[in-house]
Amino acid sequence: MVTEERPDYAAVLAALDVTDWARVLDGVGAAEIWLRAATPGDPRIDELVSRLVILANHSKWEIRRAVANAAALALHPSFEGALAKLATDDNTRVRQAAEHAALRRRDWQNASTLGKQLIATAGSHRSMFAWTRPSLPTSHEPASSRLLPMS
**Structural domain span for residue 103:** 9-122
pLDDT tens over the chain, length 151 residues:
445 678 999 999 999 999 999 999 999 999 999 999 999 889 999 999 999 999 999 999 999 999 999 999 888 899 999 999 999 999 999 999 999 999 988 876 655 554 555 555 565 555 444 444 455 555 555 555 555 555 5
Q: How many domains does the chain have?
A: 1
Whether residue 63 is contained in a domain is answered as yes
Whether residue 147 is contained in a domain is answered as no
Whether residue 21 is contained in a domain is answered as yes
Whether residue 18 is contained in a domain is answered as yes
What is the pTM for the complete model shown? 0.68
Query: For position 141, what pLDDT does the model report?
Result: 56
**Rounded to whole angstroms, how far apart are CA atoms 99 and 8?**
30
Whether residue 81 is contained in a domain is answered as yes
What would the DSSP string read from start to end of 46-115? HHHHHHHHHHTT-SSHHHHHHHHHHHTT---TTHHHHHHHHTT-SSHHHHHHHHHHHHHHHHHHHHHHHH
Whether residue 127 is contained in a domain is answered as no
Whether residue 141 is contained in a domain is answered as no
Q: Identify the CATH number of the domain in which residue 89 sits.
A: 1.25.10.10
Q: How many CB atoms are closer than 10 A to CB 61?
A: 16
Whether residue 79 is contained in a domain is answered as yes
